Amino acid sequence: MSGLVVVRLLSPGTEASGPVRWAGPVLRVRMGAVGSGTEVIAEAGQVRAGARALPEGDEHCAVNAETAPENRRLACADVLYGVRPRPPAAAVHWLTGVAARHPWCALAAVPLSGGGWLALAGAAAGERGGGPRVVAEAVGPDQPLLASCLHAWLVGGRSLAELAYVRPLRRTAAGGRTAAGACAHSRRRASAGLVIS
């Protein structure tokens, strides 16, 4: 999933607004700020060639930092991520090493072996103080697009310290229901005898 990534930011309740022609995997998460009740929906993926730009989005270069060190895209990445889950101490070591080698990177993230992700905002994001933060405990290690969603959060003027939660959403073929909405919908249909699983 290395390359140009676009993150579309939406307000809750507008999850189904405007179709986007995504070129591959898409991650949709609900992110909330500590104590304010502020929430956004972030939808990240690569956009198909020829698709119009998303005015409410964040475009950036995201690169798998576990690729070969001679990968030239590492030098211009806004977001660096790892894909191999690590224990917390090893994850901190990996993130601080990536940040030291690539100080122009705005965010680095890696999955933790016990669940969740460890993220570190770099100097390019204007992050003050603090170190790596555990975030997105409900997002699986197979979702490197999470790092792009976190980057959009930073670009929106927030810090990782303000991030109260990150919850994955699932998109259905019709109606754009969230995972919670789809599950409730399925339970209602099952109780009415309309779903057999």
Identify any residues that bridge with 31 across adjacent strands, giving them in sequence order. Answer: 40, 166
Q: Residues 79, 108, 140, 181: is their CA dihedral positive or negative?
A: negative
Measure the CA–CA gap between 68 and 160, rounded to whole angstroms. Answer: 28
pLDDT digits (tens, 9 = 90+) for 2-32: 688 889 888 887 655 566 777 889 999 999 9
- Give the mean model confidence (pLDDT) for residues 124-133: 66
With CA atoms as reference, report the closest residue to 110 among 130, 90, 138.
90
Measure the CA–CA gap between 168 and 29, rounded to whole angstroms. Answer: 4
DSSP symbol at 14: -
The token duo for 6 is: 């676009």
pLDDT digits (tens, 9 = 90+) for 49-100: 766 656 567 889 999 999 866 677 888 899 999 999 999 999 999 999 998 8
Measure the CA–CA gap between 112 and 91, rounded to whole angstroms. Answer: 7
Percent of the chain at pLDDT > 70 equals 72
Q: Is the pLDDT of residue 111 over 70?
A: yes
In the chain, the amino acid numbered 140 is G
Most confident of 69-73, 108-112, 156-160: 108-112
Q: Is the pLDDT of residue 188 over 60?
A: no
Percent of the chain at pLDDT > 90 equals 40
Tell me, rounded to whole angstroms, the distance of Cα 150 from its chain centroid.
5
- Residue of 74 and 164 predicted with greater confidence: 164
